Amino acid sequence: MTVPNPADVTGLNLADPRTHAQNELGELWRYLRSEHPVFWHAPAGSAPGFWVLTRYDDIVSVYRDAGRFSSERGNVLASLLTGGDSAGGRMMAVTDGPRHSAMRKLLSGAFVPRFLDIVAEQVHAATRRLLVEAAHRGQCDFARDVAAHIPLATICELLGVPPEDRQFLLRLTSAALSSTQPTQSAAEVWLARNEILLYFTGLARARRDTPHADVVSLLATHRVDGEYLTMDEVILNCYSLILGGDETTRLSMVGAAAALIDHPRQWDALRRGAVDTAKAVEEVLRWATPAMHAGRTATEDVVIRGQRIRAGEIVTLWNTSANRDERVFRDAAVLDFGRSPNRHLAFGYGAHFCLGAALARIEIGALLGGLRSVVSVLTPSGDRRRIFSNFLSGYGSLPVILTS
What pTM was estimated for this model as a whole? 0.95
Q: Is the pLDDT of residue 174 over 90?
A: no
Q: Is residue 86 part of a domain?
A: yes
Strands 139-141, 69-70: pairing is: unpaired
SS3 of residue 346 by DSSP? coil
Beta bridge partners, 309, equal 302
Q: Is residue 162 part of a domain?
A: yes
Q: Is the pLDDT of residue 186 over 70?
A: yes
C-alpha 144/C-alpha 152 separation (Å) is: 12
Q: Could you tell me if 259 and 284 are in contact, meaning their C-beta atoms sit under 8 angstroms apart?
A: yes
Length, in residues, of the chain: 404
Q: Could you tell me if 341 and 229 are in contact, meaning their C-beta atoms sit under 8 angstroms apart?
A: no
Give the helix/strand (H/E) hosting 168: helix 166-176
Sign of CA dihedral 302, 304, 307, 313: negative
Kindly report, residue by residue over 219-274, the tens digit of the pLDDT.
999 998 899 999 999 999 999 999 888 899 999 999 999 999 999 999 999 999 99
C-alpha 318/C-alpha 15 separation (Å) is: 12
In order of 16, 70, 113, 245, 287, the CA distances from 356 in angstroms are 28, 21, 12, 7, 19
Please give the sequence-ordered ranges of beta strands (E in DSSP) within 279-326, or none if there are none: 293-298, 302-304, 307-309, 314-318
Q: Residues 317, 34, 49, CA angle at the centre, nearest 5°?
A: 40
Characterise 396 by phi-psi region: left (phi > 0), alpha (psi -120 to 50), beta (else): alpha
Q: Is residue 115 part of a domain?
A: yes
Based on the number of CB atoms within 10 Å of its own CB, is 256 exposed (0-12), middle (13-18) or buried (19 or more)? buried
Give the helix/strand (H/E) hosting 399: strand 399-403
**CATH number of domain containing 100:** 1.10.630.10
Q: Is residue 2 part of a domain?
A: no
Across the chain, what does the average pLDDT equal? 94
What is the arithmetic mean of pLDDT over 82-95? Answer: 95
Q: Is residue 225 part of a domain?
A: yes
Strands 293-298, 69-70: pairing is: antiparallel
Q: Is the pLDDT of residue 66 over 70?
A: yes
C-alpha 39/C-alpha 317 separation (Å) is: 11
Based on the number of CB atoms within 10 Å of its own CB, is 367 exposed (0-12), middle (13-18) or buried (19 or more)? buried
Q: Could you tell me if 197 and 235 are in contact, meaning their C-beta atoms sit under 8 angstroms apart?
A: yes
Q: Is residue 4 part of a domain?
A: no
Q: Is residue 116 part of a domain?
A: yes
Provide the residue range defining the domain that includes 82: 9-403
Give the helix/strand (H/E) hosting 164: none
Q: Residues 311, 313, 317, CA angle at the centre, nearest 5°?
A: 120
Kindly report, residue by residue over 320-378, the tens digit of the pLDDT.
999 999 999 999 999 999 999 999 999 999 999 999 999 999 999 999 999 999 999 99
- Chain centroid to Cα 262, Å, comes to 22
Q: Is residue 89 part of a domain?
A: yes
Torsion angle of C-alpha atoms 29, 32, 37, 40, degrees rounded to 10: -110
Count structural domains, the chain: 1
